[in-house]
Amino acid sequence: MKLLVGLGNPGAKYAHNRHNIGFMAMDRIASDHGFSAWRSKFQGQMAEGRFGSDKVVLLKPETFMNLSGQSVGEAMRYLKLAPDDVIVFHDEIDLAPGKVRLKTGGGHAGHNGLRSIHGHIGPDYDRVRLGVGHPGHKDAVPGYVLRDFPKADAEWLDDELRGISDGIAHLVAGQGDKFLNAIALRTAPPRSSTTKPDAKPSPPPEPEPDTRSAMQKLVDRFR
């Protein structure tokens, strides 16, 4: 069993914030793959489903970002899971918008949701880092992540969420490279070639018929 956790803040006020991209990923997965209806449990919203023989629980903590670990820890203990059964999806300001990276263990890099999870289950869980870009100065970060994605980001954001949904079964199966490839196929699909095949070489021109007289040929030969 895997516990997939999307980080964010509850309520319509925060629904489209950059900080809530983890919630958005969970909603897309649940919708596309026929998961159960969301219900309140583990201090959050939970949905259940399967990818083949793998049972998966989706969780959106409702404790607000800074206390996300309370919800994750409760779910992990109830489901009798280890930290390496947990995959957390979160916004990442150190990655450009649209970039996705996988990470296992390590620090929380100042992300308050990860900081809280570290405090409850330790650092040895998997993360899906969803790039949202950096405002340019650390003092601007809180306001930046708590603002909605601009309309200009709608296209790549939708492509990324679709890619996450496309590849999620691979991630659950431990095939991170295939998961990332599924996202890339949505966000940066291979371009169809516009190069025309090389034209066949033109045949050499036909030699012009020699209309000289025998005498003229003889004269030209000794010039």
Catalytic residues: 19
| Structure tokens that stand for 127 in this block | 């993360």
Q: Is 44 helix (H, G, I), strand (E, B) or coil?
A: strand
211 burial via Cβ count (<10 Å: 0-12, 13-18, 19+): exposed
- According to DSSP, residue 188 is labeled S
209 secondary structure, DSSP code:
P
Cβ-Cβ contacts under 8 Å for 208 (sequence gap 6 or more): none
Helix ranges, 173-199 (H): 176-187
- 10 Å CB burial of residue 179 (0-12, 13-18, 19+) is buried
